[in-house]
Amino acid sequence: MTARILVVDDVEANVRLLEAKLTIEYYDVLTCSDGATAVRLAADEKPDIILLDVMMPGMDGFETCRRIKADPASSHIPIVLVTALDGREDRIKGLEAGADDFVTKPIDDVVLFARVRSLTRLKMIMDELREREDASRRLGVATDGAGRLRGSGGRVLVVDDNDRQAARIAEELIREHRPAIETDAAAGLAASKTPIDLMIVNVAAAEFDGLRLIAQVRSAETTRHLPILAVVDPADRPRLVKALELGVNDILTKPVDPEELAARARTQVRRKRYTDFLREKLDYSLEMAVTDALTGLHNRRYMAGQLQAFVSRAGLGGEPVSVLVMDIDHFKAVNDGFGHDAGDEVLREFAVRLATNVRAVDLPCRLGGEEFVVVMPGTDMEDARRIAERIRRDVGSTPFRVMGGREHLTVTISIGVAACSGPGDTPEALLKRADEGVYEAKAAGRDRVIARVA
């Protein structure tokens, strides 16, 4: 796994050393020597990871980190602070500035590359989600969720057989989050599948294998995106590195510092909220791409793709497929006499009545305006005609209540029915026959069903 990495350090020797190490591992490396240039490069070049020295003249690493994270163009880029300072206050200050991780000088190559790989995996996921979000916004189906992203607190699962340590962690978390404790791996694995925002695992637990638990969580489809914070002994380097290789999002070293725990947990919960938000927006965008916003029925695009597949199968000897094309009679008079809001109410109510009169396997769709289609797989002409009559009677039997119930409108529909005729039939020909049935029904006085054979 490769990545593009920006190295920021005012000491030339440090820059060249890091550049050489990263290049040997096939990373693409950019370099600069001051904070202002780093802020500009982060926005312009959009590297995958930034290795940022803390002690620089002028704008130090903390301020540089804050500015990069404050810019929407670069806020999603993981930042690793590189520092000779190993003090608690500096770690907390860096995390509060938005840093994603720390490495201390002299740099341990194994730990550095394990952290780079872990953050690269995260960046790849974030990039994909952001690209899809941008595409959704260009299509006009983006949604607003900023309020939810600003919320604080999350559901945190602590899996630790050390009762005293688990209690201290929960005691610190409860000030901002909703922690729960499990003392064995089986219960922790089960609890990880519930709606939680962060999992904290003691990888040095005596009663269970914390690394195996992490691997199980990462391998399950329902939990592979769950943020995991691993509690490790800093002297146990093999476990620390293995935890990162397995995909933990962050490391918390013993003895657990309360303020560092709070800062790292807050960062992971916020990131989980952001990725969840982007995934929800993606799901919403996909739904909107195939759904009519007014009625909630499928739209023309979805109908066309599905009908093509059904007709192709029917042409190869598969089950038959029929379509109903229907048009609301005198709909323009509703809009002209009662306004477009009343017209929209009629369309929504019609969609409800249509959907409740067809099978679960049928596809009721809105083509546009007052025109609707139902694609009916496994249905021959006679069955389709009978269902069309049922829909027509249900629509015309009960008036539509509009304008808050002040008006009751009698609505009728004209329906054309067609069935796939054989190997040479096409979706376009099938819809054209049904559409011709609609015109014939309207010419014959409306409020009727006309079936058209090939």
pLDDT of residue 96: 82
pLDDT interval class at 146 (50, 70, 90) = very low
Query: What is the DSSP secondary structure assignment for residue 410, as one 8-state letter?
Result: -
* Tens digits of residue pLDDT in 151-172: 457 899 999 999 999 999 999 9
Q: Which of 262, 264, 257, 254 is nearest to 231 (CA)?
A: 254
* Tens digits of residue pLDDT in 188-224: 999 999 999 999 999 999 999 999 999 999 999 899 8
Mean pLDDT of 260-278: 81
The one catalytic residue in 370, 382, 428, 440 is: 370
> Could you tell me the sign of the dihedral formed by the alpha carbons of 168, 170, 171, 177, in that order?
positive
Q: Is the pLDDT score of 100 beyond 60?
A: yes
pTM, whole model, 2 decimals? 0.57
> Do β-strands 4-8 and 49-53 pair in parallel, antiparallel, or remain unpaired?
parallel
User: How many whole angstroms separate alpha carbon 327 and alpha carbon 310?
Assistant: 23
Better-scored residue on pLDDT, 432 or 110: 432
Are the beta carbons of 436 and 428 closer than 8 angstroms?
A: no
Are the beta carbons of 352 and 398 closer than 8 angstroms?
A: no
Are the beta carbons of 46 and 77 closer than 8 angstroms?
A: yes
User: How many whole angstroms separate alpha carbon 364 and alpha carbon 216?
Assistant: 42
* Tens digits of residue pLDDT in 215-251: 999 999 899 889 999 999 988 988 988 998 898 988 8
Domains of the chain: 1-140 (3.40.50.2300), 147-282 (3.40.50.2300), 300-452 (3.30.70.270)
Better-scored residue on pLDDT, 139 or 300: 300
Measured CA distances, 278 to 130, 131, 265, 383 (Å):
7, 10, 20, 44
| pLDDT > 70: percent of the chain | 91
Angle between helices 88-96 and 61-70 (to 10 degrees): 20
- Within 10 angstroms of residue 198's Cβ, the number of other Cβ atoms is 26
pLDDT of residue 145: 47
First CA to last CA distance, the chain: 58
Contacts of 356 (CB under 8 A, 6+ apart): 394
Catalytic residue status for 19: no
